[in-house]
Structure 1
Amino acid sequence: MAPVSQFEAKPAPGDMVGSVKFAPNSSSRIIASCWDARVYLYEIQGQGEEAHASLVREFPHKAAVLDVCFGKDDDEAFSTDLNKQINRIDLATGEQIVIGHHEKPAPRIAYSREHSILISASWDGSIHFYNANDFDQAPIKAQLPGKAQALAASPSKVVVAMNARLVHIYDLPTVASILNGKSASELTPWQQRESSLKFLTRAVACMPNDAGYATSSIEGRVAVEWFEDSAESQARKYAFKCHRQTAPEEEGGGDIVFPVNALAFHPRYGTFASGGGDGTVALWDAEAKRRMKVYQKIPNSVWALAFSNDGKYLAMSVAPGFETGQEDYSGEGQSQILIRELGETEARGKGAK
């Protein structure tokens, strides 16, 4: 079934948006982190051809905002910026407080509603776990063997991908036990893995059924893996090429490879979307190992993706990439947040009900 509509959040953000997230309870509320040192809050209104997304409020920061996520409800958010700060934002009042710091900026944060834990992972090679019920309590800090590049949380796990193809997985119930004083154990990774991808990880997304995760790289590939450490489960993992174009014959032919900047799992069907520097978004069936759909090409790179909590909407951050030369890059005045309303079965995989 064709999507009911696709529309743009207006007014557009002032620069490249590195992260878009839907609210945990409302499928119409979106926040976005922007390099213009702002967090944007939008609200979707109307249905079908009348659907549109309007700006509700801006939340100025002192430096470019790298990532943002919702907290315990639709009025709480957290952000991380180039000032090396972790911030809590009251979306209703606009109040912002600094709840933590890293020695270098933290490119990614994630929130676990199941365990009331905020997680931040930094380029300083550390990961912090905060008790979201008591920010006066010092976070648990663990040293990573590399610089954090991507981060995602499932109902029971946190996956952090680093440079040098390193991946650490933490068990959230264990983290919660330490934070709540029920365990005096030192925090260690639940699993340590080497990425199935040969090049730098760009994005991580966890399966909604808590079974595993997907990672993507700068070299046009995606890998799908499962948490269970049995030989049978690990034999199921696979990787594939994507977000590539064929060069014209006069230019030598062959593949033009683009980074896969974004991944997002559908909350109901467990299929996932990927977005790349080639300006395309594709839907994939992780279980059937097949591509379901490629949407119409967008003139600029896709930087972030998010499904709404009911799977009705797919939000896409679009801005110029570095493919044509970094000296020409500017997201100012060219960035968009596009929102696609999905058909009822559009993201349903082969075996889904």
Structure 2
Amino acid sequence: MTSVGRELSNPPLDGISNLRFSNHSDLLLVSSWDKSVRLYDATANILRSQFLHSAPVLDCCFHDDSSGFSASSDNTVRRLLFSSNKEDILGTHDAPVRCLDYSYAAGQLVTGSWDKTIKCWDPRGASGQHHTLVGTYPQPERVYSLSLVGHRLVVATAGRHVNVYDLRNMSQPEQRRESSLKYQTRCVRCYPNGTGYALSSVEGRVAMEFFDLSEPSQAKKYAFKCHRKSEAGRDIVYPVNAMAFHPIYGTFATGGCDGYVNVWDGSNKKRLYQYSKYPSSIAALSFSRDGRLLAVASSYTFEDGPKPHEQDAIYVRSVNEIEVKPKPKVYANPPA
């Protein structure tokens, strides 16, 4: 077992809602229930800038290394300018904004809200103007999680609905699906190679899904149990809050309310690694762009209601190849 990694100084003071590495550097953006968005230099362990909103911040993402976006429970979508520490409101939803991501392929910001809509924004519009809205797309239920790969957008909502879109034609979903997991969706993440997505639930399971609707492709899909333990003859099951794909190897990490981070080889259906237990629930995970660092948010997610808990912390750990690289298949009788 290796250590949990290096703890970043100046962490958020209340639940961490998400963290993300930049696509261009080792900058790390962190959103929190303490109404802040923090920008860290993860390698130097420096808090570079901080933004304070009027309400808890539920998600954040980068635009580039000079700006980012945040999703707030005050229904606003904000643009953050790192160098000047200024922010402006890009637009609003009719309820808290739960998740967002920036599409480099489409040059648009995609936001999902508890108002049961997805909105797409062109952030190149005039500062502070609402006319940057590209479109509003109704969803069957409150949006819990979304993920992008290329021009594809996957939206996971309450009621176990999953909608798959092509960002070039948002008039209707390409596919309307139902989660193959029986319980509430916690997180959805697209495979880096663009062939499908992983879905996690509150009931200690992950489903591996594929976009291609042909029979051979659909035959490859499966679900597996994780983040659970047996105690005194009964199964204790933990929500799987977070997933992150390794950008080089396509393996992925899961984080649960059990305080563990596991690394999986989805193609070979194997667990590659389990890191040492963290002090609290794993609220969010992100690999750096080169896959050499993994940021882990250890932060109580109130799965057992209000109670005394460990202080929120962000750990940045160096990733060894052995932890994330798929192992070659071993044949019982090697080919001659």
Tell me if both proteins adopt one fold, taking TM over 0.5 as the criterion: yes
> Which 5+ residue runs of structure 1 have no aligned equivalent?
46-51, 176-186
Deviations 1:297-344 (A, max 9, x none): 112100000000110101011112435x3131567xx00001111113
Q: Residue 206 of structure 2 contacts residue 224 of structure 2 at CA under 8 Å; is this kept in 1?
A: yes
Deviations 1:257-315 (A, max 9, x none): 00000001000100000000000000000111111111111121000000001101010
Pair 1:203 & 2:203 matched? no
Partner-residue secondary structure (3-state), 2:173: coil
Partner-residue secondary structure (3-state), 1:88: strand
Deviations 1:104-124 (A, max 9, x none): 011100111121111011111
Which 4+ stretches in 1 moved above 6 angstroms? 2-5
Partner-residue secondary structure (3-state), 1:209: coil
Pair 1:188 & 2:172 matched? yes
Deviation at 1:38, TM superposition (A): 0.5
Q: Residue 124 of structure 2 contacts residue 132 of structure 2 at CA under 8 Å; is this kept in 1?
A: no
Q: Residue 156 of structure 1 contacts residue 210 of structure 1 at CA under 8 Å; is this kept in 2?
A: no
| Match of residue 174 from structure 1 | 169
Partner-residue secondary structure (3-state), 1:234: helix
Equivalent residue runs for 1:1-353 within 5 Å? 6-26=5-25, 28-45=26-43, 53-71=45-63, 73-134=64-125, 136-175=131-170, 187-247=171-231, 249=232, 253-323=233-303, 325-328=304-307, 334-350=311-327
Deviation at 1:172, TM superposition (A): 1.9
Amino acid at match of 1:142: Y
How well do the aligned residues superpose, as a CA RMSD in angstroms? 1.7
Amino acid at match of 1:337: I
Deviation at 1:5, TM superposition (A): 8.0
Q: Residue 119 of structure 2 contacts residue 133 of structure 2 at CA under 8 Å; is this kept in 1?
A: no
The normalised TM-score by structure 2 is 0.93
Deviations 1:184-232 (A, max 9, x none): xxx1011110101100000111111111110100000000111111111
Q: Distance in 1 between matches of 2:124 and 2:248?
A: 28
Q: Residue 68 of structure 1 contacts residue 78 of structure 1 at CA under 8 Å; is this kept in 2?
A: yes
| Match of residue 333 from structure 2 | none
Q: Residue 24 of structure 2 contacts residue 65 of structure 2 at CA under 8 Å; is this kept in 1?
A: yes
Q: Distance in 2 between matches of 1:218 and 1:3?
A: 27
Q: Distance in 2 between matches of 1:173 and 1:348?
A: 34
Partner-residue secondary structure (3-state), 2:42: strand
Higher relative contact order (CA 8 A, sep 6+): 1
Partner-residue secondary structure (3-state), 2:177: strand
Q: Distance in 2 between matches of 1:263 and 1:124?
A: 24
| Cα 1:3/1:157, change in 2 over 3 Å | farther
Identity %: 40
Partner-residue secondary structure (3-state), 2:216: helix
Amino acid at match of 2:41: E
Q: Distance in 1 between matches of 2:69 and 2:5?
A: 28
Amino acid at match of 1:239: A
Partner-residue secondary structure (3-state), 2:48: strand
| Match of residue 49 from structure 1 | none
Q: Distance in 2 between matches of 1:160 and 1:351?
A: 33
| Cα 1:105/1:161, change in 2 over 3 Å | same
The normalised TM-score by structure 1 is 0.88
Q: Residue 112 of structure 1 contacts residue 118 of structure 1 at CA under 8 Å; is this kept in 2?
A: yes
Partner-residue secondary structure (3-state), 1:245: strand
Q: Distance in 1 between matches of 2:121 and 2:267?
A: 34
Q: Residue 32 of structure 1 contacts residue 68 of structure 1 at CA under 8 Å; is this kept in 2?
A: yes
Amino acid at match of 1:313: L
Q: Residue 30 of structure 2 contacts residue 39 of structure 2 at CA under 8 Å; is this kept in 1?
A: yes
Partner-residue secondary structure (3-state), 1:62: coil
How many residue pairs match? The answer is 325
Partner-residue secondary structure (3-state), 2:242: strand
